[in-house]
Amino acid sequence: MIEAVIFDMDGTLIDSEPMWNEAEKQVFSSLGVDIKEELAVKTASMTTMAAAEFWYLTSPWVGESISQVADNVVNKVSELIVQRGEALPGVLDALAFLSEKQIKIGLATNAPSVLIPVVLNKLNIAHYFSVCCSSEYEKSGKPSPDVYLNTAAKLNVAPQNCLAVEDSITGLCAAEAANMCTLVVPHIDEYHSEKFNHADYKLESLKALKSLYLFAENHR
């Protein structure tokens, strides 16, 4: 029985990945790093520090430390979210429905913890979340299950009774490793990708979450 739903943040609640791309290009390019698209794809699912370390190894810069540069990226992303952040389709209705059903709601993200209130406040959804956790404080980020297991523990719900909502293969693998039921809502360009076939459920958007929940309830 699903007692809690744990959401990823970037790409699941908010379409912030273009903002991350823009911020990384601005910050790293200013340091002389050549941001090649084929390499940028690799950093999309990394933690901010891991991405900064990746680009430093690719093209070392002089001056600011890796952690300072990572902070610069986060600050730029925060600015962009405040300027133009919007909830992805179905997010607001899905959260309202789960709250009405008294399902516990948590957040498990690879993003730095400082961005969690920025996103939740911008979307006006902070009141729905009982627990919010960032991989920043875990030994390893996704695809490690650490942040999901920690979120479930803080919600006081067994992992097998949690539904994890993700948009990426990295997050999906993390949730599966945590022994959670999985729902993937991929970007439209990746919706038919075979890499998501092992998810328990797949939706085009969170607009259909209510119907999925009611279907699952009626077929238990």
13 and 125 Cβ atoms separated by less than 8 Å: yes
The H-or-E segment that residue 55 falls in is helix 48-58
83: Cβ–Cβ under 8 A, 6 or more apart, which residues? none
The H-or-E segment that residue 183 falls in is strand 181-184
Q: Is 44 exposed, middle or buried (0-12, 13-18, 19+ CB in 10 A)?
A: middle
Distance between the two ends of the chain, CA-based, in angstroms?
8
Determine whether 34 is an active site residue: no
Pairing, β 162-166 against β 131-134: unpaired
147 and 134 Cβ atoms separated by less than 8 Å: yes
Annotated catalytic residue, options 10, 71, 146, 167: 10
Determine whether 15 is an active site residue: no
Annotated catalytic residue, options 8, 71, 146, 167: 8
Bridge partner list, 7: 107, 165
Write out the catalytic residue numbers: 8, 10
